[in-house]
Structures are given as structure tokens and as C-alpha cells.
A and B are shown apart, each in its own frame.
Chain A
Amino acid sequence: GESVGLHLPTLSVQEGDNSIINCAYSNSASDYFIWYKQESGKGPQFIIDIRSNMDKRQGQRVTVLLNKTVKHLSLQIAATQPGDSAVYFCAEPYYGGSQGNLIFGKGTKLSVKP
């Protein structure tokens, strides 16, 4: 089966609410994860990454949480804005550490209602 996968294909939230996008992985040896955002008609864009020696990492309005016990990670977007509407992918490298050779999950489409 796929190494990295997503729980929900779509997520609809109200503008200003917080969004949580989930991702499960199967390889307990996975040590690096990345979240990408893909807007319509564009290529994926890096959002935030996390290494397995961390449980949490924060960026600007985004937080990634990693639970190695249940092999799950989540992306939290605070105060979701219309510009956050996109497909979000979690990914991990084929080969340790590189962001280029990636296994992507199926993606979750986030829709933000004004």
C-alpha cells in the first residue's frame, strides 16, 4: 500500500476558523515529513517540514504535529483565509532527507467559505 496517505479527501471550513488536515504514514522508520500546498493551476509549494525528532513545529499560521506512536501527522492552519483554499499534500522522501524525491499522499482539498 501507499506509504503516505490522507484521511479525508475534502475539508470545508468557515473563514476565520482553524483547519486541521490529517495524514497517516505506514513506515515507522520514516524520519522526515513535508507539507505542500497546491493551488489550482500551480505546482506544489512548500509549507512546512518536520523531522522525526520533533513532535511539533510552527510556522506562520501553520503548525505541524507528529505522533510517531500512531504514525500520524497533522497540519493545522490558524484563522483560515480564502487564500488558503488549495489541495494539501503530506509527503516524505524516498531517500532520507531530500525534499526532491518525494512520496506524496493523495491530497486533501481545503475549501474556505467566506
Chain B
Amino acid sequence: DSGVTQTPKHLITATGQRVTLRCSPRSGDLSVYWYQQSLDQGLQFLIQYYNGEERAKGNILERFSAQQFPDLHSELNLSSLELGDSALYFCASSVATGGFSTEAFFGQGTRLTVV
């Protein structure tokens, strides 16, 4: 158990809908990272938050957004869903925002299926 909790584990929704994925980082971790894992694109970094503020952006679509709350949990919002958004979404957390060997710990993921 990495200590990172993601809910829900599975989510099935229709095209055009909006969903929210939730992540609780490890106790004491200030950074949260979101990743998408699909068969064709592999694991892709989406976005990072550090202590409530956006810190880095990767390959995140404009239809997707995220935030980190004062209690440090984070939510990833996916809207106007398309079939191609079906994927595993992982959250990871780390103590700091950078530095060599600042290990990031991954949650078990949310499997999103868009039908």
C-alpha cells in the first residue's frame, strides 16, 4: 500500500458527461501529480499541484482540470467526455516538488470507461 488513496476505483459514464476523480495523498506529502494511462499513449503526465497551487502541466486537455484543496486532497475533473478518454487515471504524491530522489508514490488508479 503506497498510502495514496484514489476514489472511485472504477467509473463508467457516457460520452459528453463530466466526472470527478479524487485523490488523497500520503500524509505529509504536499505535491500531487495526475497521470493518464491508456493502451495507445502509455503513461502520460497531466498536471501537478503543490500545496494548493498548480506547479506543472503536461499533456492535459483543455476539457480536463484539477485542483488541490487546503487539506491537500486533489480532484481531477474530466468534462465533455469522449470514448478516447477511457483510461486508467493515476494520482501520485511526494513530499516536495523537486529534487533528486524525491520519490513519488502512486495510487492504485481509477479506471474510467466512457461508453
Contacts and interface: CB of A to CB of B under 8 A. Distances in A.
A100 B108 contact: no
Interface string A14-54: 00000000000000000010000000011111100101000
B109 A99 contact: no
B43 A89 contact: yes
Contacts of B33: 100-101
Nearest to B32: A100
Interface residues on B, range: 20 to 34
A100 B104 contact: yes
Contacts of A43: 2, 4, 90, 92, 106-109
Contacts of A104: 42-45
B99 A46 contact: no
A72 interface: no
Contact of A99 (B42, B101, B108): B101
Interface of B: 2, 4, 31, 33, 42-45, 48, 56, 58, 90, 92, 94, 97-109
Given A46-B103, A100-B31, 11 more contacts: A44-B90, A49-B100, A95-B98, A97-B102, A99-B104, A100-B92, A101-B45, A102-B43, A104-B45, A105-B42, A107-B42
List of 6 A-B pairs having minimum Cβ-Cβ separation, nearest first: A43-B106, A104-B43, A98-B98, A100-B33, A100-B104, A99-B104
